[in-house]
Amino acid sequence: MRQGRDWLIALLLVLAPSSLFAQTPPLAVYVEGAQGHFRSGFIQALQAAGQPLVLVASEQDSDMLIALGDEAFSRALEQGKPVLGVFVSRALAEKVERKGCHCAAIWAGVALDDQLAMLEVMMPLARKVGVVLGPNSAWSQGALQDYSGRLSLFPMLVSPENELGDLLRETLPELDVLLLPVDEDLFGPAAAKLILLTSYRLRRPVFGPEQSYVQAGSVASLYASGGDLVAEALVHLESFRQRKRFRRSGFVHTPSVIVNEHVAGSFDMRYSNTEALRDAQEMLP
């Protein structure tokens, strides 16, 4: 979680002696995804990494596909080639893996334990943490049950029978803090406004799920930056090139962090800016 660590693995691979790569040929890769800055930036970062990769212009010429996002991942799976999904919803990735796809995915979001560790640094006295969950959230209710830390986690399950507004009004007053997972279906602009206004009125801080929420009024969040995703993808690609099989799907291992200094200061948080929080996290075991 240290600044710059998102590029560490990529840098080590760049500096590795060429003899390590001599036994297997370069991997021909096609990047599937919507045209735009994210795709072009991702491709440029792969090219700049200096790895034994050949970025080809079509799916037909590739050994494997990299798919950016859920829609691209679903399309790529129809091509009959190995697919690495990047920033793919966990629910979708696990669904197709259960069906036996030749694929793996870097999930959208960050690990629950990582986000909770950051929250504990910011709020060492917090105990009761509400976690809003929907069917496609990055974390499941089972993940909350598996948590073995000192915090008490309270799942807040959103459904047609349990609307978000009702859950917030009924549950939030009894909690110390609210934590949100990445979930594009659940946390759109209207939900963001509802959550942040309700938390402000009840004086309960919100953490997560990513950059845009922090900029809108969430206290802080870990998130998978473009650099984090590229570094993680490079590890998967080199593993596949050497072994012809994928690493296990999962979240990025070294996420970035962002703090809303104004909101953190209004709650008298222990660390009220991104740099201070990043330094504090470097001291974690």
pLDDT means per 10 residues in the chain (285 residues)?
48 48 77 94 92 91 96 96 97 96 97 95 95 94 94 94 89 97 92 93 96 95 96 95 92 94 90 77 65
Given this model, what pLDDT does residue 13 score? 47
Looking at the fold, whether 196 and 272 belong to one and the same domain comes out as yes
Dist. CA 47–CA 2, nearest whole Å: 24
Looking at the fold, whether 127 and 213 belong to one and the same domain comes out as yes
Tell me how many domains the chain contains.
Answer: 2
Looking at the fold, whether 96 and 49 belong to one and the same domain comes out as yes
Given this model, what pLDDT does residue 64 score? 94
The reported pTM is 0.86
Report the chain's C-alpha Rg in angstroms.
Answer: 20
Looking at the fold, whether 184 and 199 belong to one and the same domain comes out as yes
Dist. CA 255–CA 96, nearest whole Å: 25
Looking at the fold, whether 95 and 212 belong to one and the same domain comes out as no
Given this model, what pLDDT does residue 14 score? 47
Given this model, what pLDDT does residue 270 score? 78
Given this model, what pLDDT does residue 284 score? 63
Given this model, what pLDDT does residue 18 score? 47
> Residue 93 in contact with residue 140, Cβ under 8 Å?
no
Question: Could you tell me the CATH number of the domain that includes residue 70?
Answer: 3.40.50.2300
Q: Which domain range does residue 216 map to? A: 112-222+257-282
Looking at the fold, whether 60 and 175 belong to one and the same domain comes out as no
SS3 273: coil
Looking at the fold, whether 265 and 151 belong to one and the same domain comes out as yes
Looking at the fold, whether 118 and 59 belong to one and the same domain comes out as no
Tokens of 184: 């594009």
Amino acid letter, 226: G
Looking at the fold, whether 269 and 197 belong to one and the same domain comes out as yes
Looking at the fold, whether 204 and 234 belong to one and the same domain comes out as no
Looking at the fold, whether 43 and 88 belong to one and the same domain comes out as yes
Looking at the fold, whether 156 and 96 belong to one and the same domain comes out as no
Phi, then psi, of 177 in degrees rounded to 5: -160, 155
Which candidate, 284, 281, 253, places its Cα nearest to that of 7? 253
Tokens of 258: 């962002």
Given this model, what pLDDT does residue 285 score? 61
Given this model, what pLDDT does residue 3 score? 46
Calculate the alpha carbon distances from 80 to 33, 106, 194, 255 in Å.
17, 19, 43, 31
